[in-house]
Chain A
Amino acid sequence: MMNDEMEQLERRLNHQPLRQIPAEWRGEILAAADVDRRNVRAFTSAATIGARLREIFWPAPAAWAGLAAVWIFIFAVNFSMRDSSPRLAEKSAPPSPEVIVELRQQQRLFAELVGPRETRDADRPRIFTPKPRGERAELVAV
């Protein structure tokens, strides 16, 4: 009697239709899952690259660190050299045309103020007449 009642109740309950899942959820939920799946894929790709780099660098970390230090030193030296090179270029560069014109004007003005240039004794060229060694010795004695 009891079992019959239970079976009837089970059957009755079993035939109660359940509420249906809203149709619009499908698109929303699958879109959310897809976005997450793509994010995970991008992250996985980055992780794979990281893992490969680790495989390359991991066997000899000291050697790679030494190589990196050498490169840092080379870059440092290169930068310090590059820093001084513009000054050297400035020193060796010819004066600009404006400066040359200015200098010539100043020279001309100076020449007008001073007048014609007289040559001093010291500036005069000596006429040198070669003489025999004997004559020169006599002159010294006199």
Chain B
Amino acid sequence: MKMPGRKEIERLYDAHAPALFAFLLNLTRAEADTRDLLQEIFVKLAREPKLLAGIRQERAFLIRLAHNAAIDLMRRRGTRERTKENFAAEIISPFAPTSDPDEKIFRDELADALGELPPEQRAVVHLKLWGGLTFEEIAAALEIPPNTAASRYRYGLDKLRGRLRPLYEEMKKAE
């Protein structure tokens, strides 16, 4: 079995790391955790040559790795938080900073609203809105039926709409 060389790992990183970073940051909301998980994924790819054998959709496969790693981390972190050891952890927005005050308010609200979604809905919403994946691709990546992916998306979007509506309408009036 041929091992993935350094060049191959570099190619995978350049092709997928930005998308994985955004996805992981949206799930973990902590830059340090996101970095750890991203490194864990690429070390795993370098260590286990069989992982990518016969994989046609690299992105979907890597999202599955990232999702599983993030869920494991959140379970561990949940235990830590229950024992009140993680108060100093910095919560980071998955959105780019902006100098426009209105946009900043909207992005902060959106980040908070996303943070309130259950992880399974947040993952689907992220992959649909910012990952550019179809429900079939999301279903393949997260190992769920396409209908489940679609319904999680609808539920998630409904919650976001309810949470953002006052701000959204205010902004529309101002326009």
- A residues in contact (CB < 8 Å) with B: 5-6, 9-10, 12-14, 16-21, 25-26, 28-30, 32-34, 36-37, 40-41, 44
B161/A21 in contact, CB under 8 A: no
Task: Indicate which residue in B9, B164, B168 contacts A30 across the interface (CB closer than 8 Å).
Answer: B9
CB distance from A30 to the nearest CB of B (A): 6
B43/A33 in contact, CB under 8 A: yes
A34/B6 in contact, CB under 8 A: yes
Q: A29-B42, A34-B6, A34-B9 are in contact. Are A19 and B161 (CB under 8 A)?
A: no
CB distance from A130 to the nearest CB of B (A): 106
Q: A17-B96, A18-B130 are in contact. Are A34 and B161 (CB under 8 A)?
A: no
Give me the 4 closest cross-chain CB pairs, A-B, nearest first: A37-B46, A21-B21, A33-B46, A18-B22
In the complex formed, the residue of A with least CB distance to B93 is: A19
Report the bound CA distance from A30 to B6 in whole Å. 8
B110/A13 in contact, CB under 8 A: yes
Residue contacts A-B, CB under 8 angstroms, 7 given: A6-B157, A10-B129, A26-B13, A30-B6, A33-B9, A33-B45, A37-B46
Task: Indicate which residue in B13, B42, B96 contacts A19 across the interface (CB closer than 8 Å).
Answer: B96
Main secondary structure of the interface of B (DSSP, over half): helix
Task: Indicate which residue in B47, B97, B160 contacts A36 across the interface (CB closer than 8 Å).
Answer: B47
In the complex, the number of residue pairs spanning A and B with C-beta atoms less than 8 Å apart equals 88
Q: Which residues of B contact A13 (CB under 8 A)?
A: 110, 129, 160
Q: Which residues of B contact A17 (CB under 8 A)?
A: 95-96
Q: Which residues of B contact A9 (CB under 8 A)?
A: 157, 160-161, 164, 168
Q: B127-175: which residues lie under 8 A (CB-CB) from chain A?
A: 129-130, 157, 160-161, 164, 168
Per-position 1/0 for B13-48, Cβ under 8 A of A: 100011001100100000000010011001101110
Q: Which residues of A contact B95 (CB under 8 A)?
A: 16-19
Q: Which residues of A contact B72 (CB under 8 A)?
A: none
Task: Indicate which residue in A5, A14, A18, A25 contacts B161 across the interface (CB closer than 8 Å).
Answer: A5
